Structure 1
C-alpha cells in the first residue's frame, strides 16, 4: 500500500529555490568568533563593527557619485603626493568619526593625514587606513576600495601616543581587511584565524557571510602590473614579465589595488608594483596599504614580499613609507623572486 504524501507540508522545487539560505550576518559572525582573539574583551569586535558601519555610509556616497557633486579632485595633494579626490576626503571623515566615537581606538594613521591623529582617549588600538584606495577611478565607474589594519598600542593606555605605537611591523597586526566597492560591495577581513568575506545586501543594510574560509590558489595564470612603466623596471622584473607572456598568462590590471588583489585572491595570480626609476623605493605605502593585504594574503595561503624580504617583517621608519610590492599566489610570488 502506497503512503500518501502531504503536499501541503512539502516545499516545491520552485519554493526551495526562492528560499535559498543566506550566510551569517557580520555582527553575529563577529560575536561567535571573538574568542579566537587572545585579548578578547569586545573592543576589537566593536572596531570591526564601526568599520563596517562607516563602509556602508561610504558605499552609499560612492553609489551616488554620478548624481551629486562629489566626483573629481579637490585641488590639493595628500602627504603621499597623490591628488586628493572629493571622495577621499569624505571617506576619511566618515571612518575617522566612526572610529573616534567608540573609544577603542587611540590613534589613527590615514593616507589623507600628514601625521597620525591622536584621538585623546585611553583606547588600546591603533588603526592604519587608506579610506578610499583608487578613488581617481570613480569618475569612470571602476571598482575602488578601503584598506585597514588594526594594531594593539604598545605604550600604556592614557599616556601620550609614542612612535612605537605608530611604526609597527605588519607582523604585529591583530586584524586587517578591505572593503571592495564594486558590482557588489564586499568586506573581507582576518584576525589571524583565516580569511572570511561578507557581501553587503543594501535592501537589508547588512553584510552577510558569502565567502567563508577564503583560500588563495597556490598557482595562477594572471599577472597584474602596470606595463606602461615597463621601460623603467629592473631587468629581473622585465624577465619575469616576459616569462609570464611566454607561459601565455593573462594580463589583468585594473589600477585599483583592492580590486586587483581581490580578483587574484579568488582566481589565483600575482600583483606586482616594483621599484622604478621614478619611484626607486616603490610607490605603494607600507603601513596602510601593503601590510594589510600582505597579512590577508598569508592568512589565505598566499605570499607577499618587497622582492627581497617578507612584507610583514619590514620595520617602518616613517609614517608614509613606500615599498615595492609582490603579492598573490605563493608559487607565483616565489617564481617572480627567482629572477633576481
Structure 2
C-alpha cells in the first residue's frame, strides 16, 4: 500500500500543498483520538453555547474546531481559515498561499450515540492582494478548489480526498500513524436503487421533490418500475461515503420549515468539497437550478440545496423540476 506523500506526488501535487494536507491530517489524527476517548474524557454532551449557525454546540465540536484551527494556522501555510463554528474567517500568515474552509465535526448529533461523524475540508488558493482578515477572500466558486476531502471517524478512520486527479480512499494505519492509499480512482456507479433523505421534513418539501420521492417509494408498482431502499445516517460524511462506495442519491432539498432559512447545508464547508469528490468519482452534484460548484458565494456561511450521487439518478430527480 502506498503512503500519502508518494500518492500525492504521483498526481503532481505541489510540495507546499502536500505539506498543508499533511498538516490538516495531523489535526484529524488528533481529533480521531479525542473522538475515541470522548466517553472517558468528559467530552460527551452539549455546551450552553450556540454557534453562528444557531445550533447548540457539542463539547466535541468545540474541541475539534480549536484543534483544527490551531494546528492549521500555526503551520504558516494558510492566509486564513473559515469554519462552520466561527462567526467569520480567522487570519493566518499574510503571505500564506492557501485558504482552508472546514466543518470540524460533521454529524455531531451522532456523537452521543457513537455513530458516524467526520471532518470535512476544502482548500483554495489565497488571493495575494487581499488582507488576511478579509472574509471576501473565501468568495470563490467550488471550481477553484485545489483539494477537498473528509475524514470519517468510523470503525476505521478513513480519508477520502481529491486534488482534481480522481477521488481516492486512504485508511489511517495506527501501527505507524500514517494514512495509506487503499483505493485509487473511486467511481460512483451510474445507476442506483438507494436514496438518502430526511423523511421527517417531507411535508415541507417543494412539490417536485415530494413527487420524486413518492415515485421512489412506490417501487416496482410505480412509474420508476423498480424498488428503492432508503438509507439515512444523519451525517453527510457517512451518507456521501456510502454513495462513493456503492452508489446512491443524497439530497437535502429546499424546504419551507423555516422560510428565512430554506436550505440546510453550507456551501463552503459541506456542499462544495463533497461536490468536488463526487464529480471526480464520476457522479453529479447539483441543486435544482444548476451545478453546485458553479455557484459564486455571497457569504462564508451561505447555505444551498443539495442533490448529488449516481449520475443517472440525479438526472432523473432533476426532471421533476422541469
What range describes the TM-score normalised by the shorter chain of this pair? over 0.9
Query: Is 1:268 matched with 2:243?
Result: no
CA distance in 2, matches of 1:105, 1:28: 23
Structure 1 gap segments, 5+ residues each: 1-22
CA distance in 2, matches of 1:283, 1:339: 21
Asked whether the 8 Å contact 1:155–1:162 carries over to 2, the reply is no
The residue number in structure 2 matching 1:336 is 317
CA distance in 2, matches of 1:297, 1:261: 8
1:186-205 mapped onto 2 (5 Å cutoff): 186-205=158-177
Asked whether the 8 Å contact 2:46–2:57 carries over to 1, the reply is yes
Structure 1 34/278 Cα, relative in aligned 2: closer, same or farther at 3 Å?
Answer: same
Q: Normalized against structure 1, the TM-score is what?
A: 0.89
The residue number in structure 2 matching 1:62 is 35
Divergent runs of 4+, >3 A: 159-164
C-alpha displacement at 1:162, in angstroms? 4.0
Query: Is 1:126 matched with 2:99?
Result: yes
Query: Is 1:241 matched with 2:218?
Result: no
SS at 1:241's partner residue? helix
Query: If you compute each CA radius of gyration, which structure gives the higher value, 1 or 2?
Result: 1
SS at 2:209's partner residue? helix
| Paired residue total | 312
CA distance in 2, matches of 1:80, 1:228: 21
Query: Is 1:148 matched with 2:121?
Result: yes
Q: Normalized against structure 2, the TM-score is what?
A: 0.93
Query: Is 1:223 matched with 2:195?
Result: yes
Query: Is 1:174 matched with 2:146?
Result: yes
1:255 pairs with 229, 234, 241, which one? Answer: 234
SS at 1:200's partner residue? strand
CA distance in 2, matches of 1:234, 1:241: 11
Asked whether the 8 Å contact 2:89–2:133 carries over to 1, the reply is no
C-alpha displacement at 1:279, in angstroms? 4.1
Asked whether the 8 Å contact 1:155–1:161 carries over to 2, the reply is no
SS at 1:115's partner residue? coil
CA distance in 2, matches of 1:229, 1:62: 29
Query: Is 1:322 matched with 2:303?
Result: yes
Query: Is 1:27 matched with 2:5?
Result: yes
SS at 2:2's partner residue? coil
C-alpha displacement at 1:43, in angstroms? 1.2
C-alpha displacement at 1:34, in angstroms? 5.4
C-alpha displacement at 1:121, in angstroms? 2.9
SS at 1:188's partner residue? strand
1:5-20 mapped onto 2 (5 Å cutoff): none
CA distance in 1, matches of 2:63, 2:119: 13
CA distance in 2, matches of 1:271, 1:99: 30
**Deviation larger for 197-206 or 308-317:** 197-206
CA distance in 2, matches of 1:317, 1:185: 34
Root mean square deviation, CA, Å: 1.4
C-alpha displacement at 1:326, in angstroms? 0.6
